[in-house]
Structure 1
Amino acid sequence: MLRRVLTVLILSGSFLLLPSEAQQTARISRVGFLAPQGRSLPLFDAFRQGLADLGYVDGQNIRIEARFAEGHYERFPEILSELAGLKVDVLAVTGAVTARAAKRLVTDIPIVFSVVVDPVVDKLVPTLEQPAGNLSGVTSFDPQQAAKQFDLLKQVVPGLKRVAILGDQGVTEALIDEAEAQARTLDLQPQRLRLAGPNPDLEGAFAAIKQQRADALLVLEEPVLGVHAKEIADLAAKDRLPTLFPPSRVAAGGLVSYGTSQTEAIRHMAVYVDKVLKGAKLGTLSVETVKRYELIVNLNTAREIGVTISPGVLRRADRVIQ
């Protein structure tokens, strides 16, 4: 009798060990994350929060391998090779320039993109409805976004006539062409400026802006500009030049920001990652468009450069930086 009891206890103990052993040997999914800017950008935190909302906790049931290019596009091949070597299950990338590099260099890993204005123009996908291949994600595409931004600048800067448009080597010609065309529809004279390299000549750019007597500056959402957002804001403040910055960078010293919510786009990127980890094929998932706009006003900058923001604009603002 005692022998039978001992045998049952031993067998029961061995079965009790099985779930623990299974947990120890269960593979944790790996997610690669690549941003062209620096770690200080709050978008990575939004991505982690989006995953957490879906039940993923970094270091527990998922491992996020995050990398940041700090505006050095030439590092993309090295970083993407490293992430591929880590055998990530899915790659999440932000920005069109990053997505284009990932598409070119990574063919056997699903790639989810976000903070991309027009993935069709950028040749990431053939159509939004049927992306095909190993890419899909979230776009902030609104063909009238530049016009809405210029209209806001006209409300903030009475008598606005000349506007400078600042981009870097990552922005497509089509995007700047469209911004210039929309400026002209509002009777504005656009001035195109494109910066080159991770250490661009900002002093030269602002000298050109001053020479052309621009009344305001539109800063496009591009990685190199993001890295140098504080320097751009400081130079603009020195010249008392009103600026419209991307939402994630207006706190660096921009006057206003108006555009589709980047935070919402990044958080929604986590939904695509979740679907891939559950077996979905990215090529069958249509690209989704973020439609919610954010208006941010930086009153610190307004006071510094002597601009009065109208009560109407302040009432519409989603956030006011005091």
Structure 2
Amino acid sequence: MTIRLVLFIVAIYAMFSASAEAEDRPKPSRIGMLLPGSEASSGYLKGLYQGLVEQGLIEGKNISLERRYANGRIDQLPALAAELAASGVNLIFTSGDQAAKAAKQATDRIPIIAVTCDALAAGLVSNLSRPGGNLTGVTCINADLDGKRVELIKEILPSISRLVVMLNPDDQRSVAEFKQIELAAKASSIELLRQSVLKPEEIVPAFSQAASAGATGAIVIYDPMFFLRRRELNEIAVSKGIATVFNFREFVEAGGLMSYGPNVQDMCRQSARLIKKALSSESAGETPMEQPTRFELVINLGTAKKIGLVVPSALIGRADEVIE
């Protein structure tokens, strides 16, 4: 047998061995990501990526991530969800109540792992311990947090008599949050003004009307449109001299006054364990929804200075983070 023939046989053997090995290797699980914001606004997903690595789920190795961004256009979520479902992904990850609702409408078969503001208030599930259907994830219960936000605005503005609440009136969870804020405001003898905001161009008029009505504080209920335009929103609030309180720290990092709520990066990281369970054929509907493990108060002293507020030292002492 010539050397050339031997080398040819070795090459053929190696080719078939490599082919057989490739066929035996499991295909990466395809994870669809349905995201209401933009790529630039989704820094909180760092927590998810970290959590996936910790669970041994490596992008490009045993999982692939297929991202769909609505860029603040909530009306685009159903079409994006349907597109992901039709593409044959093994699992859908969503952030936000509206994205989770769109995913549920698109499929009752593909497991959905959702990070949400309040899955109960949004009507996504009726029971946290046994969600049923094909959805589970990590959610906070905002009814437990809204009263605290009213307390915070009262602490920083002891003489406040009028408080504006800005929300998306078409979002079921936002309306539920408003009712909780309404109860807390009534208990503190604060008159509540409701401002419905559906489009970016309505933000300036909403703050102008609030300022004209004598509102000195605002609670802005989380919505993807607000989140995507959080810097612009805060600039307008500061220009009107209105103190703002938000659900999440990202708003304060973008110039808001205060936030009280869970850390979204932590929630995303926490959800990675549920993703691994679902990919291991554990039923999402039988997997209890989890709640955040950490809540934080963040205060922006630079913003307080701009609107002429002195933040009480006791409040600063309780803050988890103070932005100078």
TM-score of the superposed pair, with normalisation by structure 1: 0.90
**In the alignment, structure 1 residue 125 sits paired with structure 2 residue 155:** no
Q: Do the aligned residues in 2 keep the contact of 1:140 with 1:291 (CA within 8 Å)?
A: no
Q: Do the aligned residues in 2 keep the contact of 1:233 with 1:252 (CA within 8 Å)?
A: yes
**In the alignment, structure 1 residue 22 sits paired with structure 2 residue 22:** yes
Match of 2:319 among 311, 317, 320: 317
- 1:142 CA displacement: 4.5
Residue in 2 aligned with 1:226?
A: 227
Three-state SS of the structure 2 residue aligned to 1:249 is helix
- 1:22 CA displacement: 3.3
Partner deviation per Cα, 1:195-243 (whole Å, 9 max, x = no partner): 114x341121012201221120111111111112112101111011111
Q: Do the aligned residues in 2 keep the contact of 1:168 with 1:225 (CA within 8 Å)?
A: no
Partner deviation per Cα, 1:226-276 (whole Å, 9 max, x = no partner): 112112101111011111123222111101111122222121111111101
Q: Do the aligned residues in 2 keep the contact of 1:230 with 1:253 (CA within 8 Å)?
A: yes
Report the Cα distance in structure 2 between the residues aligned to 1:302 and 1:120, rounded to whole angstroms: 34
Report the Cα distance in structure 1 between the residues aligned to 2:315 and 2:19, rounded to whole angstroms: 59
Give the AA of the match of 2:296.
E
**In the alignment, structure 1 residue 96 sits paired with structure 2 residue 104:** no
Counterparts of 1:190-269 in structure 2 under 5 Å? Answer: 190-197=192-199, 199-245=200-246, 246-269=248-271
- The percentage of aligned residue pairs carrying the same residue is 28
Q: Do the aligned residues in 1 keep the contact of 2:146 with 2:177 (CA within 8 Å)?
A: no
Q: Do the aligned residues in 2 keep the contact of 1:183 with 1:190 (CA within 8 Å)?
A: yes
Give the AA of the match of 2:195.
L
Partner deviation per Cα, 1:178-208 (whole Å, 9 max, x = no partner): 22112212222111111114x3411210122
Match of 1:272 among 255, 271, 274: 274
Gaps of 5+ in 2: 1-5
Report the Cα distance in structure 1 between the residues aligned to 2:229 and 2:236, rounded to whole angstroms: 11
Q: Do the aligned residues in 2 keep the contact of 1:115 with 1:262 (CA within 8 Å)?
A: no
Paired positions, count = 317
Report the Cα distance in structure 2 between the residues aligned to 1:20 and 1:230, rounded to whole angstroms: 54
Check 1:28–1:291 CA distance in 2 against 1; reply closer, same or farther (3 A cut). Answer: closer
Residue in 1 aligned with 2:138?
A: 138
- 1:165 CA displacement: 0.8
Check 1:314–1:20 CA distance in 2 against 1; reply closer, same or farther (3 A cut). Answer: farther
- 1:177 CA displacement: 1.6
